[in-house]
Amino acid sequence: MSKMATIRLDPSDNIAVAIRAIAAGEMALQNAVARADIPLGHKVAVEPIPAGSPVFKFGQVIGEALRDIEAGDWVHSHNLGFSQGLARQVAGVARDVALPLPARLSFKGIRRSSGRVATRNYIGIIASVNCSTTVCRAIAEEANKSLLPRFANIDGFVPIVHGSGCGAAANGEGQRLLQRTIAGYCRHPNFGGVLLVGLGCEVNQIALYATGGPSDTRASFDIQRVGGSRAAVEKAMSVLEGIAIAADAVERVEAPASELTVGLQCGGSDGFSGITANPVLGIAMDMLVTAGGTAILSETPEIYGAEHLLTSRAAPETAAKLMERIAWWESYASANGASLDNNPSPGNKRGGLTTILEKSLGAVAKSGRSPLADCYDYAEPVTSKGLVFMDTPGYDPVSATGQVAGGANMIVFTTGRGSCFGSRPAPSIKVASNTALFDLMRDDMDQNAGRLLDGHATLAELGAELYDLLLNVASGEKSASERFGYGDNEFVPWTIGAVL
């Protein structure tokens, strides 16, 4: 562990971040002596900050002092607050940033007849409605037991189930979102085959879906029409036999990194996420974008207050689309009696994050320095290359579900508190922001970005390492979440609108 007590992220910052627990009376930074115990990952004032004055971190405003703050004071929720009127700093990020081409430009993928490239070869058992979820789980369980051992090139049968599909307006926004999400999973390249199972009387009829792809790898039926639950499982086994034969006839081939579409997630963030894990991911995504790939930044409520860092590197029409979504979220939160500054969770705050501005500035670091190429609605098919934004909630499973529906064939998830997550059919890589977390949850983490604070690696080294890990996992190497078996319960479409 580094002997330093704090790190000051920008010369203009009037706070520093504790990279170990600091006791009252201990020197925090230069002439600032801690006036209270400062927990790991939390902030300490390095100069006096008068009440009402801005507090700076990353060289950006993260809030205002609620009362006079002395040098050495612990800075957190008791004396730092959010205000809608806070002025934002100019981002100063050029839209024509030149990034070096990485040395490695390919991975071993599975090229589909559509031309798209997969990183996995699953067969999806997709429920159209909550009423068919138990049957879908039973089908997947039986298929994994009786069929999977016979097909070496199939990664597994995955139940894609949810709690919706009926009790909503047929033409409402909620139904449109659900249909777009399920349609995205039906055509996802990581599914070598799909069986769509409905009950029969639901709003979300299976007839709404053209599952796409070769007819020998796509099928659907309703439970009510085949004789009930047990009959549905038996029918599924005969249907899946043919699908599995067709889906198994694949091999991994060399594919360009430009075929990768990566969803960027952060959850259980702490005071180090924006210092280590998120910037490391940003470097890896700059490398991927330079190689021609696609990175999807999302979680609109968690870029709130830092959106200027994205609009400054976007074309005017793309910036306008992003700002329209920000305005929608402000209205949506207000109409539901909420504030977007309520976003930092109790775990975030225990980890040292205080305001949404602070959290958002760290979250945007995942995007690196690449220009913002486009802005998409939730679960909309992503067709642009480069860094793009997808409008999603900040709740990780809902956000990742939208990204996968949009075409993400990989997910990278940064965490400071210890998120446990997987997202079949897209393999998920998890990056720990600090060494203590990595050591504590070693079976769940794929990379330790805390080595930056320990003095054992640089940001550039860690970013290149993550880029290589991404290509290795895309080529078939199992991630930590895959080894444990995550991914059957993380399909969570965005539920919006009236439940009738």
Q: pLDDT at position 352, please?
A: 87
Q: In this structure, which amino acid lies at residue 78?
A: H
Strands (E), 22-154: 27-29, 32-33, 43-45, 54-57, 60-65, 74-75, 80-81, 106-111, 117-118, 122-127
CB 451 within 8 A of CB 434: no
* pLDDT tens string 372-395: 999 999 999 999 999 999 999 999
**Alpha-carbon 102 to chain mean position:** 23
Residue 74, pLDDT > 60, answer yes
Query: How much is the pLDDT for 86?
Result: 62
| Cα separation values, 133 from 122, 129, 196, 199, Å | 18, 7, 11, 9
DSSP 70-95: -TT-EESTTTEE--TTPPPPP----T
pLDDT at residue 124, rounded to an integer: 98
Q: For residues 496 and 288, which has the higher predicted lDDT (pLDDT)? A: 288
Q: Model confidence over 18-68: pLDDT tens digits?
A: 988 999 999 888 778 999 999 988 999 999 999 999 999 888 888 999 999
Checking if the pLDDT of 316 tops 90, the result is yes
| Structure tokens, 104 | 């490695």
* Interval 200-215 mean pLDDT: 82
Q: Given pLDDT bands bounded at 50, 70 and 90, which one contains residue 93?
A: very low
Burial class from Cβ neighbours inside 10 Å (0-12, 13-18, 19+) for residue 153 reads middle
User: What fold is seen in the domain 122-248?
Assistant: Ribose 5-phosphate Isomerase B; Chain: A, (3.40.1400)
Mean of pLDDT over the chain: 91
Q: How far apart are CA 151 and CA 326, in angstroms?
A: 47
Distance CA 381, CA 377 (A): 9
Taking each continuous run of H as one helix and of E as one strand, the counts in the chain are 14, 23
Question: Residue 355's closest CA among 55, 37, 92, 91?
Answer: 55
Query: What's the CATH fold of domain 6-81?
Result: 2.30.130
Q: Residue 342: its pLDDT value, please?
A: 57
Q: What is the model's pTM? A: 0.91
Write out pLDDT tens, residues 426-466. Answer: 999 999 999 999 999 999 999 999 999 998 998 899 999 99
From the number of C-beta atoms within 10 Å of its C-beta (0-12, 13-18, 19+), residue 230 rates as exposed
Q: Can you state the angle between helices 396-405 and 173-186, rounded to 10 degrees?
A: 60
Average the pLDDT over 468-495 and give the result.
Answer: 96
Distance between start and end Cα atoms, the chain: 56
Question: Which helix (DSSP H) or strand (DSSP E) does residue 465 occupy?
Answer: helix 459-474
CA gap 448, 438 in Å, rounded: 6
The mean pLDDT of 246-258, rounded to a whole number, is 97
Structure confidence at residue 497 (pLDDT): 80
Contact between 405 and 185 under an 8 Å Cβ cutoff? The reply is yes
- Give the model's pLDDT for residue 270: 85
Q: And the tokens for 414? A: 């940064």
* Average pLDDT, integer, range 266-276: 89
